[in-house]
Chain A
Amino acid sequence: MVLTGAEIVIRCLQEEKVEYVFGYPGGAVLFIYDALFQQEQVRHVLVRHEQAAIHAADGFARSTQKVGCALVTSGPGATNAVTGIATAFCDSVPMVIISGQVPTAAIGQDAFQEVDTVGITRPCVKHNFLVKDAKDIASTIKKAFYLAKTGRPGPVVVDIPKDVTAQKAEFAYPQTVEMRSYNPVVKGHQGQIKKALKLLREAKRPMIYTGGGVILSDAAEALTQLTRKLGLPITNTLMGLGGYPASDPQYLGMPGMHGTYEANMSMHFSDVLVAIGARFDDRVIGDPNHFAQEPRKIIHIDIDPSSISKRVKVDVPIVGDVKEVLEDMLRLLEASGETTDKEALATWWKQIDEWRSRDCMKYRNSDEIIKPQFVVQKLWEVTGGDAFVTSDVGQHQMWAAQYYRFDKPRRWLNSGGLGTMGVGLPYAMGAQLAHPGSPVACITGEASIQMCIQELSTCKQFRLPIKICNLNNRYLGMVRQWQELFHGGRYSESYMDSLPDFAKLAEAYGHVGIQVKEPRDVEGAIREAFSRKNDLVFLDFLVDQTENVYPMVQGGKGLTEMILSAEDL
């Protein structure tokens, strides 16, 4: 059937079962928007800034097992999208972004709203394409979706010049993709898997450390089974929260810069460390040389070979899809009937429980002033630990990660790799659209929320009953914390002056706003917010301005060099 390029684009999205495309129209994508208008299957969510379109599609993808999809125009539409694309890239989120481009004849002429989108996005996408002929649109979009979701997932940009969307071509959506240059490994090497199991059987102080890869490959179930079967201690990174139930006694909390004492000590002093879909990030192990001081064998399971032996030397690399490898391990374990060294493990757990007894997550609550940790704890209680929780970046992000205990995967959405302020609200939009009727909370701060606050308007238009928990400390909290600890208390530009009245602001957008000043009102306010099933409620908590995030491993230090509380300083 002969269709225009624009119609082909929309037909492709239909074929890929795209439910929502997040976007913003403009000159170069007018034909595509026209084709979008004339159908109902793919629904469009009009954001108020292209950055939010990408984040919302990203949030949709993170909270589901699906590919997020966004549509932006050329020039500023594409450059506004770059932060969102880079955010998704750093956290390996499967996405397809379609951008308009000036007509082919105008490319290179410095035309109105022209930028080299393929050039600008090249370092922050898994792959990108410029489509120069309408007959190539279908095969390119097919490839884009395939690339986005297979192997190590990531965002793929498809840049389409305006004249190509007007051209006519025969449309047939390809059923399969053949790419001689791209064949991601799925199955792990059986010999390596056996070697890993042997190491684990002989280990005296084994430990499991998992990251976002477990969530991305949908391996939480297999991971939980394996961890329980082996009886090992486990830690989930910021990106991996919910990969293993946080309420389980084998769970030691998050590792790293703001991780728990027990998780960091166990990582450091383990003799066999199994890293699964994690990458020994600087925020997780601190100084790699310090980490390497303690002898240990490392087993690393990851779909991306370049993640293995990048920051630390690995003894047993296993390249493959995390879920496949874990299921193979389970099968082999069942078949052999072998287990770990029970006696050694009991001694190891005794040591871990001793570390645990330091109770590093305790904080001094107050009757006079709202402690931010208290708000997160109450949110967890009120939602029964079952909400989709998004965050922005900074102190509130760490408190959310520390005090909201995630028992399920895909419930925690944050920008771990790039650390993008402003993602929280659009992530919540994506999650709420993907899970209508489910509670969605955005834990944010007064600085972060203002980076995408215009989306309150989108939330109104699409009736998204998100609950925003603003931990308002009138500071760029994490910047202030570092300035207090490492820059002699010189608070250079970290103070947020001239803040709006957020409750009134929310009301101006047609939502409900509640300001909370007293600790005793926290729980009631959260309950009230969640009882309003159809309203977006903006809870503005005026919290302690001086509270810091602990425990803390200073940047560049070793994992065991932790500051546990303010008293440690």
Chain B
Amino acid sequence: MRHVIALLIENESGALSRVSGLFSARGYNIESLTVAATEDPSLSRMSIVTIGSDDIIEQITKQLNKLVEVVKVVDISESAHIERELMLIKVRATGKDRDEMKRMADIFRGRIIDATDSSYVIELTGNQTKLDSFIGAIDTGLILETVRSGIAGIGRGDRILKL
């Protein structure tokens, strides 16, 4: 099963390698990992997408909690939550493809944020499936470059991950 684990960790040098080192040392999967400081600059928030059985996910959260600098760990995919990922995709945009690409970007509520006479950079946010579908919907031969941020996740409503 796919899980999204959110955690708050002391914003200190080496904190990221403690987390990523834990995953590699124990053979856990990381689909994506995003990290940045929160509104409190002494704290960083990570969103980790991982895949594993219930037993493995239980171990992952326990092992993360055991790291001395980790303040809080929540498996936000256990209940209602929102996931968003940002993708920047550079595509060839010439001739009839130019209009088609603009249309597809509109359909997916993407924005063209850079344009040259032969290419666009399209900015797209959404969950993983939406970004995957966009890639599936356009002619892959036209893709020049993609970059994705990895998932940022947050619980819905009253579910708040805070100190």
Contacts and interface: CB of A to CB of B under 8 A. Distances in A.
A123 B66 contact: no
A306 B62 contact: yes
Given A305-B62, A306-B59, A309-B58, A181 B69 contact: yes
A127 B68 contact: yes
B14 to A, nearest CB: 6
B18 interface: yes
A182 interface: yes
Given A126-B68, A310-B59, 16 more contacts: A119-B14, A122-B21, A123-B21, A127-B68, A179-B68, A180-B71, A181-B10, A181-B68, A181-B69, A304-B66, A305-B62, A305-B65, A305-B66, A306-B62, A306-B65, A309-B58
Kindly name the residue among B63, B66, B70 whose own CB sees the greatest number of chain A CB atoms within 10 A: B66
B55 interface: yes
B160 interface: no
Contacts of A130: 13-14
Interface in B21-49: 21, 25
Contacts of A118: 14
Interface string A305-318: 11001100000000
A126 B69 CA distance: 11
13 contacts: A119-B14, A122-B17, A122-B18, A127-B69, A130-B14, A180-B71, A181-B9, A181-B10, A181-B68, A181-B70, A304-B66, A305-B66, A309-B55
Contacts of B70: 181
A2 to B, nearest CB: 27
A126 to B, nearest CB: 7
Contacts of A276: none
A297 B26 CA distance: 28
Contacts of B21: 122-123
A147 interface: yes
A282 to B, nearest CB: 15
Given A181-B69, A306-B66, A122 B14 contact: yes
A448 B71 CA distance: 42
A310 B56 CA distance: 9
B156 to A, nearest CB: 26
A261 B55 CA distance: 31
Interface residues on A, range: 10 to 19
A184 to B, nearest CB: 10
B113 interface: no
Contacts of A309: 55, 58
Contacts of A182: 68
B1 interface: no
Interface string A415-454: 0000000000000000000000000000000000000000
A557 B37 CA distance: 48
A118 B17 CA distance: 11
B147 interface: no
Contacts of A181: 9-10, 68-71
Interface string B66-110: 101111000000000000000000000000000000000000000
A127 B21 CA distance: 13
Interface of B: 9-10, 13-14, 17-18, 21, 25, 55, 58-59, 62-63, 65-66, 68-71, 163
A279 to B, nearest CB: 13
Contacts of B65: 305-306
A127 B66 CA distance: 10
Given A122-B14, A122-B21, A181-B10, A306 B63 contact: yes
| Pairs A-B, 3 closest by C-beta atoms | A306-B62, A127-B68, A181-B71
Contacts of A147: 68
Contacts of A180: 71, 163
Nearest to B68: A127
Interface in A109-141: 118-119, 122-123, 126-127, 130
A127 B9 CA distance: 14
Given A181-B10, A306-B62, A310-B59, A123 B25 contact: yes
A145 B71 CA distance: 20
A310 B57 CA distance: 11
Contacts of A179: 68
Contacts of A304: 66
Contacts of B69: 127, 181
A177 to B, nearest CB: 12
Contacts of A127: 68-69
A95 to B, nearest CB: 15
B113 to A, nearest CB: 36
A133 B55 CA distance: 42
Contacts of B13: 130
Interface string A168-195: 0000000000011110000000000000
Contacts of B71: 180-181
B19 to A, nearest CB: 11
A306 B10 CA distance: 21
B144 to A, nearest CB: 35
B25 to A, nearest CB: 5
A122 B16 CA distance: 12
Contacts of B25: 123
A119 B14 CA distance: 8
Nearest to B70: A181
A204 B14 CA distance: 51
A122 B163 CA distance: 26
A306 B21 CA distance: 17
A121 to B, nearest CB: 11
A306 B70 CA distance: 15
Kindly name the residue among A130, A180, A181, A182 whose own CB sees the greatest number of chain B CB atoms within 10 A: A181
Nearest to A309: B58
A371 B147 CA distance: 68
A433 B43 CA distance: 44
A122 B13 CA distance: 13
A102 to B, nearest CB: 17
